[in-house]
Chain A
Amino acid sequence: ETGVTQSPTHLIKTRGQQVTLRCSSQSGHNTVSWYQQALGQGPQFIFQYYREEENGRGNFPPRFSGLQFPNYSSELNVNALELDDSALYLCASSRDRGINQPQHFGDGTRLSIL
């Protein structure tokens, strides 16, 4: 069983740029959720995709957007990067919106904004 994989592992960008992060869900999972984790804090929910549709969104501005593909992999896009966007971005996959079951996390993408 292949686990959740994220790419790239690390990324350095400058303010105002755009970035795309990628996530491959675990085999058999149709739901992907994205989280932002600042240093020393718990993950903050960005949004969830279920069967290619957005299924919930946290308190993040519209410059954070996403996609889910027919194979259930997903992308997180962030436009007009700000210094505060520096964080670990985690992707988690599950079956059927993660109801009554755990989410499985990838190792994350460490994004640094200069």
Chain B
Amino acid sequence: GQNIDQPTEMTATEGAIVQINCTYQTSGFNGLFWYQQHAGEAPTFLSYNVLDGLEEKGRFSSFLSRSKGYSYLLLKELQMKDSASYLCAVMGDYGQNFVFGPGTRLSVLP
């Protein structure tokens, strides 16, 4: 089966650091993706991991451990505009396409 878990909601303060965790169980693994989705808008691509380790992109970093079926997205220097849902998605077997987690709704408070 395919299963991806994320916390439903998180709250953090402007300027702080927040870590959003994602655990997955999928048939096959061909990469893990993080997307940001503001309410009423399309998901936008943030990061991609296919090998174990940390990928850094400005204020955003993503980590993957394939042996543990675990990833996290790290957001630094939080801004109010970072208030959004963060979607973890795994590409399983080819043709199975993306399996999305339920999303984590992040609220950034002043």
In residues 55-110 of chain B, which contact A (Cβ within 8 Å)? 87, 89, 91, 94-103
Tell me the minimal C-beta distance from A29 to chain B in angstroms: 13
CA A98 to CA B97, docked complex, whole Å: 8
Residue total for A at the interface (Cβ-Cβ under 8 A)? 26
Pick the contact of A45 from B43, B44, B99 — CB < 8 Å? B99
Pick the contact of B43 from A43, A44, A48, A97 — CB < 8 Å? A43
Pick the contact of A105 from B44, B50, B94 — CB < 8 Å? B44
Given A48-B95, A90-B43, A107-B42: A43 touches B48 (CB 8 Å cut-off):
no
In residues 18-33 of chain A, which contact B (Cβ within 8 Å)? 33
In residues 1-57 of chain B, which contact A (Cβ within 8 Å)? 4, 30-31, 33, 35, 41-45, 48, 50
Interface positions of B (Cβ within 8 A of A): 4, 30-31, 33, 35, 41-45, 48, 50, 87, 89, 91, 94-103
Q: List 20 A-B contacts (CB under 8 A).
A: A4-B42, A33-B98, A40-B103, A41-B103, A43-B87, A43-B98, A45-B97, A45-B99, A48-B95, A56-B94, A56-B96, A58-B97, A97-B94, A99-B30, A102-B33, A102-B48, A103-B45, A105-B42, A106-B42, A107-B42
